[in-house]
Amino acid sequence: MKPKKLTLKNFGPFIDETIDFSKLTDAPLFLITGKTGAGKTTIFDGMTYALFGETSGKIRSAKEMRSLFATPEEETSVLFSFEHQQMSYEIERKPEQVLAKRKGNGNRKQAAKVSLTIFDAKGKEVKQYTKRSEVDQLIKELLNLDAKQFSQIVLLPQGEFRNFLISSSSEKEGVLRNLFGSQFFQQFNEQLKEKAKLQQQKLDHLEQELTLLRKCFVRMNEEPTENVSYEETIALWQHEQTALEEIILAEKAKLLKLQEQQKQIENDYYRSESLNKSYKEKTRLIQRKKELDEKVTAIAEKRQWIKQYEFAQKLQDTIARSHEYVSDQLEMATKERAYFEQLTHKEQLYKKWLEQEEERMALQKEIDGLSKDFQEKKILLPIADQWQQKQVDLKELQEEEQALQEKKRVISQEEAQILLEQQKIQEQLAEQEELQENRLHYEKLRQEHEKHQEMIEQWNEKKEQIESYRVQLNEIKSQYEANQEYLSQQTELLDRLKSQWASQQIARLQLLLLPGQPCPVCGATEHPNQQDRHELPEKEEIAALEQKLAQTESVIDQIHQEIGRNEADRTKISEQLTKLTEWCSAKREEIAKNEEILKTKIKKTFIFAKVSDLVVSLKEIDRDLTAQISVIAQAKKAQQEILEKLPEITDRLKEIEQYIDQNKEKIQQTQGESASLAKQLEKIDTHTLSADVKYLEEQIASKTQRLSKEMEQGLSYSQEINLLKTQIDTIHEQQKKNDQKLESIQEKISEKMKEQDYFKETEEILSFVQQEEVYNEAVQVTNAYEEERLIVEDRLAQLATISLEEELQDLNDLKEQLERIKEEVTKQQESCYRWQEQKNQNQQIIEEFSSIYQTSQKQLDELIELQQLAQTINGENPRKTSLERYVLQVYLQEVLQVANSQLQRLTKNRYQFELAEEVGSYRGKTGLEINIYDDEAGMSRGAHTLSGGESFIAALSLALALAEVIQAQTGGVTIEALFIDEGFGSLDEEALEMAIEALETIESEGRMIGIISHVRELKERVVQQIRISTEGSGQSKVRYHLG
């Protein structure tokens, strides 16, 4: 992927700037420079946002990147074009933003937009995507990178990698974890620790349960079991359970014997109790049978009376029906007389109705005449309604015509007003050419002013260089003076050493001088004032002094050389200082002259501008031109609105005129139809027509209703007469049937009366059956007697075997024996229950104890495994290396292998990365330590021993290798661009020189390398530059410096 062009509109500090990377193809190494905060890194943010919809550092969202200088109408957008695999791509993104409405006041919220256009090798458009999901998916498939990985590969923060080189293994682990996503191992280790902690808590809980169960177990002896193992405890408890079982069996045997005794006593008691009850019952029943036998006669009489009552009761219904028939006959005779009277009255009324037939015929004739008149007037009624409606329609059409004429007048006025505004706008737009010309003049002036500012910047840089030379000169002077003083001190020291050496030599010669021999120093044979003899100096002292003397002479020679160099440097710097001072003086005059030229041009073109300060003047001109541009833009916008509105008004005017023509045609048509309808109603009063029709309709209805009532009355008389005759015939038939039934019932009653001799008349029977309560009581008494008699006889038959002469046992004695044996059985049962309950509870405790113990053993095994696994993964092993760090070692080894190819080339095979194998004093210092093998020294040393320039080269090699490895892991995408963000300000001159040479070496590989920095030395060394300059308002501009 190779960048081609990036356009930032209202993005960060950029209003509308384009970075054309194709201009930098001659020398792929280029510099992005500018003041701090000018927006250098914003360029990379724009590329990342265009590709992935988010900024590189995620510090600010896409919405927050909208420029503070954007007008409410202008959109924020990023357009990025790049090449990849012989295809060209152009992607544009617009974040969610709030803009001013195109029409009217207020704001509107615009959703985020994206478009991706693909071009083939010939520049022909292949396809375009506008859905965000499709674009994001295509970019991901195309680059095989996400935003974070893209930032890691393309943007290299140099300072971080120098720190990475010398950081501890723990610090490297944190960085590599984020880069290679090994957080899983850390999370897994934490989960293991948490699981082991929970497992330990469960095990502790089980231990507590086992201790509690030990206390709950009931033992027959109280020997302590706290120091006994769990297995021994279970065996001891089971032994006690066996002993308890033997006790329970013995107790159950005692209980069984007592229960057998209880059963025998119960049998004796219940048998004696039963015999006693049977004896008493038989005596009572014999007495009762005698009493029942005495009542036999009275019961027989009651049965005879019951029989007579039941006979009368059965015949009662028949006698009652005969009485009902007699009553019905009387009632029907009464009805017959009433019907005859009604029939006579209705026949008289019907005869009178027939006599009024002529009057009804005359009424019908009157109704026919009224109906004819009603139909004639009713036909004219809708015509009159139509005529009246036409009058209403005509009035409405005339009113509508007046309204349309008023609308036409208003629209015509609006059209005239718009045409007047259009004329004013055209007058404003006529000034556009002058504005464009002024804008062109301003742009030329601004460019000249930029060059002027560059001259000032060069002059300021030279002035700074002069100050630097002066400082250096002062430093050299101070160093020269210090060297002179040091030389004086060393010369004095040398003289003392020479004197000392001479004294030693004289002393040695004096000790060796023979009397009468000439002195080797002065030649005399005698020395009358000879000093005291010195002891002979040792040979080592003389040798040491001679060596010290030689060293002092060597130092003095070096000082002389240093003083010579100081004088040479002072001469050279003084000459350079003179040249720079002369250049600055000349440049200052040129700047002043150029400033006067610019002021003259500004005053000539822009009369209103104040030329006391060029920057203020240009800003004032820019504001004025911007205001004029805004006025022109508003005028264009207003003109566009007028051009859009004018056809609409014209169309509305034409439409109103069409409506007016149509309305006139409707008025003429309505007037013609109204005249035709009026002709049909010439002899009719239209005002009373509706009332006349209604009056006729009411008269016809009233008379028709009266006639209908009279006809209905006659029909009613005829129907009522026929109904009465039918009812009289029906009564005659019913009377005949009742006579037959009454005769049959009376014959049945007569036959029944002959079957008995107690009742003589039917009235006696009806009177006798009134004794229902007496009958019920008699039936109850006889039934109770028979029931009791049967029970007594049946029970006596059952008790026939009981002899009344037999002697019975004493029940009280048997009862006392039974209560005593029951009490003993109950006590024995409670004893058996207690022993059995104790055994059951103990057995339950044993089972629960065994189950918990087995569970605890399993969980203990799991806990040991978890702890061993956690210790191994956490690095608690001889190598002091965790599983995550072991995995990261593999990644880091791969990175170092790739980095070595770069490092060896950049250092001419002197240095090579090595992953330290030594085990550190603690885990934080083990596993990810990086050493540098120095081929010249033939040994490895720590990365922290590298100098500034060497550490930069090493960090650069490591950063490039890391980008390459990440790139390979994400699918092998080729990224032909690299941005290095800062990291140069902390380098000294020698280290900076090494860094630039390293970057130039990488540049030769054909990769586009952009350095983001504001270091002055880089400006002098890197030919191609993208300069980000800031204006006083905070806006940034992009300028190119291509050599």
84 within 8 A of 7, measured Cβ to Cβ: no
Please give the average per-residue pLDDT across 935-960, as a whole number.
Answer: 79
In this structure, the number of other CB atoms found within 10 A of the CB of residue 586 comes to 10
Name the helix (H) or strand (E) containing 815. helix 811-874
Residues 740-774 have pLDDT tens digits of: 777 777 777 777 777 777 777 767 777 777 787 87
How many CA atoms are closer than 13 Å to the CA of 432, on its beta-carbon side? 13
Distance CA 411, CA 414 (A): 5
Q: How confident is the model at residue 93 (pLDDT cuts 50, 70, 90)?
A: very high
Q: How confident is the model at residue 353 (pLDDT cuts 50, 70, 90)?
A: confident
- pLDDT value at 366 more than 90: no
Q: Collect all residues with Cβ–Cβ distance below 8 Å to 899 and sequence separation of at least 6.
A: 913, 957, 958, 960, 961, 962
In this structure, the number of other CB atoms found within 10 A of the CB of residue 262 comes to 17
Question: Higher pLDDT residue, 647 or 683?
Answer: 647
Distance CA 596, CA 370 (A): 119
pLDDT of residue 92: 94
Q: Which residue has the tokens 């661009």?
A: 977
- The encoded tokens of residue 168 equal 């501890």
Buried b (16+ CB within 10 A) or exposed e, 198-232: ebeeebeebeebbeebbeebeeeeeeeeeeeebee
871 within 8 A of 877, measured Cβ to Cβ: yes
pLDDT of residue 899: 85
Residues 433-476 have pLDDT tens digits of: 666 677 677 677 777 777 777 777 777 877 777 787 778 778 87
Please give the average per-residue pLDDT across 788-794, as a whole number.
Answer: 81
Q: Collect all residues with Cβ–Cβ distance below 8 Å to 918 and sequence separation of at least 6.
A: 926, 929
Q: What percent of the chain has pLDDT over 70?
A: 82
Please give the average per-residue pLDDT across 360-382, as a whole number.
Answer: 77
Q: Which amino acid is at 655?
A: E
pLDDT of residue 812: 80
Question: Higher pLDDT residue, 539 or 711?
Answer: 711
Q: What percent of the chain has pLDDT over 90?
A: 3
Distance CA 952, CA 960 (A): 12
Q: Hey, which of 174-183, 352-361, 376-385, 970-979 has the most confident mean pLDDT?
A: 352-361
Q: Which amino acid is at 350?
A: Y
3-state secondary structure of 660: helix
Q: Where are the beta strands (DSSP E) in 908-1023?
A: 911-915, 930-934, 939-942, 977-981, 1008-1012
Name the helix (H) or strand (E) containing 942. strand 939-942
Distance CA 589, CA 1014 (A): 29
Distance CA 625, CA 437 (A): 11
Residues 20-52 have pLDDT tens digits of: 888 876 666 788 888 777 788 888 888 888 988
Question: Higher pLDDT residue, 1005 or 722?
Answer: 722
Average pLDDT, the chain: 77
Residues 554-599 have pLDDT tens digits of: 777 777 777 777 777 777 777 777 877 888 788 778 777 877 777 7
Q: How confident is the model at residue 94 (pLDDT cuts 50, 70, 90)?
A: very high
pLDDT of residue 115: 94
Q: How confident is the model at residue 69 (pLDDT cuts 50, 70, 90)?
A: confident
Q: How confident is the model at residue 533 (pLDDT cuts 50, 70, 90)?
A: very low
Please give the average per-residue pLDDT across 236-263, as a whole number.
Answer: 86
Q: Hey, which of 58-67, 463-472, 540-549 has the most confident mean pLDDT?
A: 463-472
Question: Higher pLDDT residue, 849 or 800?
Answer: 849
pLDDT of residue 362: 82
Closest CA to 41 of 997, 49, 53: 49
Buried b (16+ CB within 10 A) or exposed e, 23-44: ebeeebbbbbbbeeebbbbbbb
pLDDT of residue 119: 93
Backbone angles phi, psi at 921, to 5 degrees: -70, -25
1041 within 8 A of 1024, measured Cβ to Cβ: yes
- pLDDT value at 502 more than 80: no
Q: How confident is the model at residue 894 (pLDDT cuts 50, 70, 90)?
A: confident
Sign of the CA dihedral 614, 619, 624, 629?
Answer: positive
- pLDDT value at 512 more than 60: no
pLDDT of residue 153: 64
How many CA atoms are closer than 13 Å to the CA of 995, on its beta-carbon side? 27
Q: How confident is the model at residue 816 (pLDDT cuts 50, 70, 90)?
A: confident
pLDDT of residue 6: 93
Closest CA to 35 of 1011, 1028, 1025: 1028
Biggest alpha carbon–alpha carbon distance for the chain: 221
pLDDT of residue 534: 47
Residues 99-136 have pLDDT tens digits of: 888 777 778 888 889 999 999 888 888 899 999 999 99
Q: How confident is the model at residue 1001 (pLDDT cuts 50, 70, 90)?
A: low
Distance CA 379, CA 374 (A): 9
pLDDT of residue 980: 78
Q: Which residue has the tokens 């859905």?
A: 131
Rg (CA), the chain: 68
